[in-house]
Chain A
Amino acid sequence: MSDFPLLSLIIFLPLLGALLLLVLRLPQKASYWLSVVWSLVVFVIAVGLLLNFADGSTSGFAFTEKLEWLKPLGMNYQVAVDSISAWLIALTAFVSLVAAFSAREIQGRHNYFRAWLLTLETGILGVFAATNLLNFYVFWEVMLIPAYFLIGRWGITRERVKSAIRFVIYTLVGSLLMLVAMLALAFLTVPAGGQPSLDLLVLKERIGGLDRSTQEWLFLAFAAAFAVKVPLFPLQAWQPDAYAESPTPVTIVLAGVMSKTGTYGFLRFGIFLFPTASQTFAPLICILALASIIYGALAALGQTDLKRLLAYSSLSHTGFIVLGLFALNNQGINGAVLQMINHGITTPALFLAATALSNRTGTTELAGMAGLQSRMPRLAALFLILSLASLGLPGLNQFAGEFLILGGAWQASTWYAVIGAVGVVLAAWYSIRLFQLIWHGPRAENESPALAKVLDMRPVEYLVFVPLVALIVLLGLAPALVTSIFDGSVSTLLK
């Protein structure tokens, strides 16, 4: 069993599914069910992988697979997971499943759409599993192509191509800098008479040999790529458009898991690989994270469009994750990893609920909605729970993450936690404003006539939202279910 390439199976299964879709050219319904079942299988295997770590005793890499490719350059295919990446892989499979499930009716070439979505999943899974730098880079770029097409071709308005191009330019600039840094790192760390290596663990051993300023420059190049992907202030301009333009299944993958590739990168290829440089730049990155938190929250407070508001709220929340990471202590990083998972559950749920709502109202403009609670009390209740989770209500999942993040930040500097706390208050403000604008108050005068016979939640919607809400409550009441599993890995990583 130990020789069985389980990890590669998980990574490439979605790609295989994508190829299958392209070859079979199924009609809408059949292709929908194929992609759902396919994603479900991937998810089940990913959970199986995660269960191997369930007792929390494994703190290093496991399931290592290695194929030699370009030996002189140290470029290998090499994947492995620890309990942190195992969680993120399970999360990716979960969010992709939700995305596939919600992609019921696709306008235009639906087989291509679902194929790209599955390819995107392979890219993200690969990023979380790669332990060879070049390997990591390849998966990193694999994410870009499907994302570009998904936004550019299936985007909602005519602005979609512009959004897609902007997304690509931002990402490419960051990732090319990272590529340069990777190669430089490989060659600069070659020991006398040795071979260059791109193996993460080998480089971790060798990095101490570099002088400090070289380490810092290399770290910054890596950080640029990750900061774009998260995104971190001031590199967020691609994000609101990309999130708002994308069709919902794409948005939830972008916001739910692709943003986590950036935070994961910071953790694995920033903090772990460059411990010294991380120390040096931690204050800077924490300040940028705080700027993301506050900027995102303030921008969300003024939005008049539902999806854009959620996009800015996501910016604010990913800022918390980065803040936790660069607190550089057990609590902060534990909280950050926990929050990656929490945010990966809450944000897709919010975007799905927003879509469920806008499909009924026919608009995402908040001005056209008001006083809808009596029309759709159940959807309103769902929206309330999700808003509360998002604003970090103690007892729900995001609070557990924020608690550890701010606790870690407080130890790094009291001011980080205090400013972060201002972000928490602003989050309560904009979330409640959003909730009330839609559901409370007198009915809007320009209300869409479609609302007259609108229906409350349908059974198929319960199928998606009940598990999401259950997770939100469960992880709020017992976050130890998650943190106890990767706690050991975090300690190992910080050593």
Chain B
Amino acid sequence: MAEAIGLVVLFPLLGFLAIALLGNSLSEKGAAYLACAAVGFAFLSALASVPAVYDPKDVFLYTWTQAGNWKFSFGLLADPLSVFMCLIVTGVGFLIHLYSIGYMTGEHGEPEADYRRFFAYMNLFVFSMLLLVTSNNFIFLLVGWAGVGLSSFLLIGFYKDKPSAVKAARKALVMNTIGDVGLLLGIFVIILNTGAVNYYHAFRGAEFASDGGWRDIASILLLIAAVAKSAQLPLHTWLPDAMEGPTPVSALIHAATMVTAGVYLITRAHPIFAYSEVALIAIPVIGAASAFYAATCAIIQTDIKRVLAYSTMSQLGYMFMAAGAGAYEAAMFHLLTHAFFKALLFLSAGAVIHAIGGEQGIRNMGGLGKQLPLARWTFLIGALAISGIPVFSGFFSKEAIFAAFPLFGGKEAQVGFGLNETGHIILGWVALLVAVMTAAYMFRLYFLVFSGPKAKSYQTHESPLTMKLPLMVLGALSVVGGFVYVPGAYNLLEKWFEKAHEYVQTTPTRWLIIPYETIEWTNLIGAVGAAIIGWFIAYGIFGRAERVAPSDEVKGFAAFLQNGWYLDKLYYAVVATPVVWVSKLLTKQADKDVAEALDWGIGGSLWASSKLIRKTETGYVRNYALGILVGAVALLAYVLVAAIQR
């Protein structure tokens, strides 16, 4: 039932409004249950809308704006892609909400400060993401897009008295706004070339557009948005800092909502991206570069959540690679399994942090496996899944991505242009290298946290059931979640996504289907081998008794990696600092009454050169203005006299 998609969006919105408006008249636990129920019902509604997968349609339309020949409507779209995303967002989102009930409760069962506010923001976050994925047009995609940015700002800065959280929140919002603006401008290009913002009409228009050059511009602008939201190079620096929020927020940002939006956008707008040569080269290259960059940074971080943050960026790099190569189905598949195992990893990490009283530095952990068996096993499952060890979910989805990048060639550019064979080979090997590094940094983290000697002894306390249950469910999903596609056997995704490309296009599509008939043994052995090599490296250095201890104070190359190649510092130096400097200068000048002189153009330069002028500057401008006044009156008199004489 396609209309059920409306309920999917509505429930979290109502949850947010109810918690926000009822305020103190709602008990703290009541707010939490309400928030969970809202997302839970949204999930049920998403299940109810599954039939729309085979019969996509637009529902709930009204005119949003009208100006000349621009007349755009709001509407929701129920189609394979939107239902797929809704199921992930509400499903994983629900588990994270449930987990938050326990996590945001202190040691003695007392709710943390601003408990209600937290749940209101969480529902707002889920609502924004759902609007983003269900909108049937680019404008409300942007509304959801910005809503997600706003919610992340609110949640990253949730510990509002902490200066670092405040700063991280602001950075996230400003960088996301850069993406929003890219999307906005991209929308203009689409409107002017197809006359529509509605996906269906825009993509149909794109298909029949005579000159396709505009697709390059539109793709680049949309890509700016995707890169900012999915924390890919070069707009990624907000993501590591986003760890300032509570851990469930990180899980929500990294698994169910927010960062996946970029991959969604590229997949959604594939009729535009897939016909732009620039995009077909830029997206996989950005993806591979981000995957590699983030892996190098992850390997040396000493904060448990920062490792996971960089690993998200790295995994999203894989998704970008796939989407850029036309393997949208593989990208969405990895998005699905990643949602499971990344949520699992964050929530397990959260269980550790919660149990040992908020400590996040891994040098203060170690040997926690015995005290926290559930967290240990679920974290291990997550690590195995992300590394791509067979039968765990990540194995299948990585396999699907690697299939698009054969290591020894044999694959021409899929769509006739874009990356050539060599390009595919190079990116394939980069992906393989990243796979080694992924296994290495994940197991480094696992060994340093759960095994080996204890750095400190903690009085751990038992996690409540609301935290345990989501861990178990996500653990199970991380194991079996990949079985929607089995190489050599079957591919359920093909059927699911059939209408995603047929709905919008009549000509043969550039949507690559994950091949399942034959097994690509070279890729399969390569990928599994990479994961095992990574594990051995981690075991060799960190897994044995006399292991290398992590340190915060690193120098040289290690410091370079730990600080994210100093890109953040570079941006501050090149962009933020000059802007702030100029604004301070303007403020100073304007406040010192000099604007007056500057505004008249002449006074300003005189003022700058001489302090004498400054003393008389006010009078000077007045005289000047008076001169104009007298002149104007004289002119007026002249015109009147001239008129009367006529």
Given known A237-B595, A331-B68, contact A428–B632 (CB-CB < 8 A) = no
B639, A234: Cβ atoms closer than 8 Å: no
Contacts of A483 in B (CB 8 A): 65-67
Interface window among B96-104, B155-163, B439-447, B543-551:
B155-163
A236, B599: Cβ atoms closer than 8 Å: yes
Total contacting residues, chain B, CB less than 8 A: 69
Interface residues of B in 56-112 (CB under 8 A from A): 62-70, 74
B160, A371: Cβ atoms closer than 8 Å: yes
B633, A442: Cβ atoms closer than 8 Å: no
- Closest CB-CB distance, A185 to chain B, in whole Å? 10
A440, B161: Cβ atoms closer than 8 Å: yes
Interface residues of B in 171-191 (CB under 8 A from A): 173-174, 177-178, 180-181, 184-185, 188, 191
Contacts of A439 in B (CB 8 A): 160
Contacts of B591 in A (CB 8 A): 308
The CA of A443 and the CA of B163, in the complex, are separated in Å by 11
The residue in B62, B145, B188, B635 that gathers the most chain A C-beta atoms within 10 A of its C-beta is B188
A480, B63: Cβ atoms closer than 8 Å: yes
The CA of A377 and the CA of B24, in the complex, are separated in Å by 11
The CA of A478 and the CA of B140, in the complex, are separated in Å by 12
Q: Which one of B64, B66, B139, B185 contacts A418 once the chains associate, using CB atoms below 8 Å?
A: B185
Interface: B601 (CB within 8 A) = yes
Q: Binary interface profile of A, 424-453, with partner B (CB < 8 Å = 1, else 0)? A: 111011001100100111110000000000
B173, A428: Cβ atoms closer than 8 Å: yes
B181, A173: Cβ atoms closer than 8 Å: no
B188, A406: Cβ atoms closer than 8 Å: yes
A480, B66: Cβ atoms closer than 8 Å: yes
The CA of A418 and the CA of B184, in the complex, are separated in Å by 10
Interface: A417 (CB within 8 A) = yes
Interface residues of A in 201-248 (CB under 8 A from B): 234-237, 240
- Closest CB-CB distance, A254 to chain B, in whole Å? 18
The CA of A61 and the CA of B191, in the complex, are separated in Å by 32
Chain A's closest residue to B626 (CB) is A169
- Closest CB-CB distance, B29 to chain A, in whole Å? 19
Given known A173-B625, A421-B185, A432-B153, contact A329–B177 (CB-CB < 8 A) = no
Interface residues of B in 19-48 (CB under 8 A from A): 20, 23
B143, A395: Cβ atoms closer than 8 Å: yes
B143, A479: Cβ atoms closer than 8 Å: no
A302, B628: Cβ atoms closer than 8 Å: no
The CA of A440 and the CA of B592, in the complex, are separated in Å by 29
A169, B68: Cβ atoms closer than 8 Å: no
Q: Which one of B63, B69, B586 contacts A299 once the chains associate, using CB atoms below 8 Å?
A: B586
Contacts of A240 in B (CB 8 A): 590, 595
Q: Binary interface profile of A, 285-308, with partner B (CB < 8 Å = 1, else 0)? A: 000000000010011111110001
Contacts of B153 in A (CB 8 A): 432
The CA of A268 and the CA of B170, in the complex, are separated in Å by 41
Contacts of B20 in A (CB 8 A): 381
Q: Which one of A176, A335, A418, A479 contacts B629 once the chains associate, using CB atoms below 8 Å?
A: A176
Q: Which one of B188, B587, B599, B629 contacts A302 once the chains associate, using CB atoms below 8 Å?
A: B587
Interface: B596 (CB within 8 A) = yes
Given known A407-B191, A425-B174, contact A394–B68 (CB-CB < 8 A) = no
A484, B66: Cβ atoms closer than 8 Å: yes
The CA of A429 and the CA of B177, in the complex, are separated in Å by 9
Q: A interface, by DSSP: helix, strand, loop or mixed?
A: helix
A331, B70: Cβ atoms closer than 8 Å: yes
Interface: A177 (CB within 8 A) = yes
Interface: B166 (CB within 8 A) = yes
The residue in B63, B153, B160, B626 that gathers the most chain A C-beta atoms within 10 A of its C-beta is B160
Interface: A393 (CB within 8 A) = yes
A395, B147: Cβ atoms closer than 8 Å: yes
A429, B640: Cβ atoms closer than 8 Å: no
Chain B's closest residue to A332 (CB) is B67
Interface: A314 (CB within 8 A) = no
Chain B's closest residue to A329 (CB) is B68
Interface: B522 (CB within 8 A) = no
The CA of A491 and the CA of B192, in the complex, are separated in Å by 19
Contacts of B599 in A (CB 8 A): 234-237
Interface: A411 (CB within 8 A) = yes
Interface: A356 (CB within 8 A) = no
Contacts of A301 in B (CB 8 A): 579-580, 583
B146, A440: Cβ atoms closer than 8 Å: no
Contacts of A406 in B (CB 8 A): 184-185, 188
Given known A173-B629, A440-B161, A490-B68, contact A393–B587 (CB-CB < 8 A) = no
Q: B interface, by DSSP: helix, strand, loop or mixed?
A: helix
Q: Which one of B70, B147, B170 contacts A432 once the chains associate, using CB atoms below 8 Å?
A: B170
Q: Which one of B68, B590, B646 contacts A187 once the chains associate, using CB atoms below 8 Å?
A: B646
The CA of A403 and the CA of B180, in the complex, are separated in Å by 12
B65, A298: Cβ atoms closer than 8 Å: no
Interface: A111 (CB within 8 A) = no
The residue in B587, B599, B643 that gathers the most chain A C-beta atoms within 10 A of its C-beta is B587
Interface residues of A in 238-266 (CB under 8 A from B): 240
The CA of A393 and the CA of B177, in the complex, are separated in Å by 9
- Closest CB-CB distance, A179 to chain B, in whole Å? 6
Interface: A142 (CB within 8 A) = no
Q: Which one of B66, B170, B580 contacts A487 once the chains associate, using CB atoms below 8 Å?
A: B66
The CA of A439 and the CA of B596, in the complex, are separated in Å by 33
Interface: A183 (CB within 8 A) = yes
Interface: B525 (CB within 8 A) = no
A176, B160: Cβ atoms closer than 8 Å: no
Interface: A166 (CB within 8 A) = yes
Contacts of A295 in B (CB 8 A): 586
The CA of A484 and the CA of B64, in the complex, are separated in Å by 10
The residue in A394, A425, A426 that gathers the most chain B C-beta atoms within 10 A of its C-beta is A394
B170, A298: Cβ atoms closer than 8 Å: no
B590, A440: Cβ atoms closer than 8 Å: no
Interface residues of B in 581-601 (CB under 8 A from A): 582-588, 590-591, 595-596, 598-599, 601
Q: Which one of A303, A388, A404 contacts B70 once the chains associate, using CB atoms below 8 Å?
A: A404
The CA of A433 and the CA of B174, in the complex, are separated in Å by 10
Contacts of A166 in B (CB 8 A): 596
A304, B587: Cβ atoms closer than 8 Å: yes
The CA of A421 and the CA of B221, in the complex, are separated in Å by 12
A394, B143: Cβ atoms closer than 8 Å: yes
- Closest CB-CB distance, A398 to chain B, in whole Å? 12
The CA of A433 and the CA of B170, in the complex, are separated in Å by 7
Chain B's closest residue to A178 (CB) is B632
Interface: B220 (CB within 8 A) = no
Chain B's closest residue to A381 (CB) is B20
Interface: A39 (CB within 8 A) = no
Interface residues of A in 135-174 (CB under 8 A from B): 166, 169-170, 172-173
Given known A425-B181, A487-B67, contact A393–B161 (CB-CB < 8 A) = no
Interface: A180 (CB within 8 A) = yes
Interface: A347 (CB within 8 A) = no
- Closest CB-CB distance, B450 to chain A, in whole Å? 36
Beyond A301-B583, A426-B579, 6 additional contacts (C-beta under 8 Å) are A184-B639, A236-B599, A406-B188, A425-B181, A428-B177, A487-B67
Name 11 interchain pairs, CB-CB below 8 A, sorted by A: A173-B628, A240-B595, A312-B590, A391-B177, A410-B188, A411-B192, A421-B185, A425-B181, A429-B579, A478-B62, A479-B64
Chain A interface residues (CB < 8 Å from chain B): 166, 169-170, 172-173, 176-177, 179-180, 183-184, 187, 196, 234-237, 240, 295, 298-304, 308, 312, 329-331, 334-335, 371, 373, 377-378, 381, 388, 391, 393-395, 399-400, 403-404, 406-407, 410-411, 417-418, 421-422, 424-426, 428-429, 432-433, 436, 439-443, 477-480, 483-484, 487, 490-491
Chain B interface residues (CB < 8 Å from chain A): 20, 23, 62-70, 74, 117, 139, 142-143, 145-147, 150, 153, 157, 160-161, 163, 166, 169-170, 173-174, 177-178, 180-181, 184-185, 188, 191-192, 579-580, 582-588, 590-591, 595-596, 598-599, 601, 622, 625-626, 628-629, 632-633, 635-636, 639-640, 642-643, 646
Top 9 A-B pairs, shortest CB-CB distance = A330-B68, A302-B587, A334-B67, A302-B583, A176-B632, A301-B583, A428-B177, A237-B599, A394-B143
